[in-house]
Amino acid sequence: MGDPSTFRDSTQIVLPESTVEGLDTDLEAEFMVSVFEPEDAAVVRIIGSPVVIKEVSDFLARQGVHLP
């Protein structure tokens, strides 16, 4: 059985809220992802399948967003 954090890392991207400001609607329109902004944190979780998360990572990199 794999480590759950490994699976979580391949199905979500966690970024500071200000990083994806203005891109969240583009992400949901172009990719099959959910953009979740918890009330108690200043982060955004982009959640999707591993294949889509890879595509979103590439998209964000083209937009100048540095991924951890």
Burial classification of residue 48, based on how many CB atoms lie within 10 Å of its CB (0-12 exposed, 13-18 middle, 19 or more buried): buried
Tell me the residue type at 22: G
Which residue pairs, CB below 8 angstroms and at least 24 apart, start in 60-64? 60/13, 60/20, 60/23, 63/23
Distance CA 23, CA 19 (A): 9
CATH code for residues 4-62: 3.30.1370
Over residues 19-41, the pLDDT tens digits come to 888 888 889 899 999 999 888 88
CA atoms within 13 A on the CB side of 30: 13
Whether the per-residue pLDDT at 45 is higher than 90: the answer is yes
How much is the average pLDDT of 49-54? 94
Q: Where are the domains of the chain?
A: 4-62
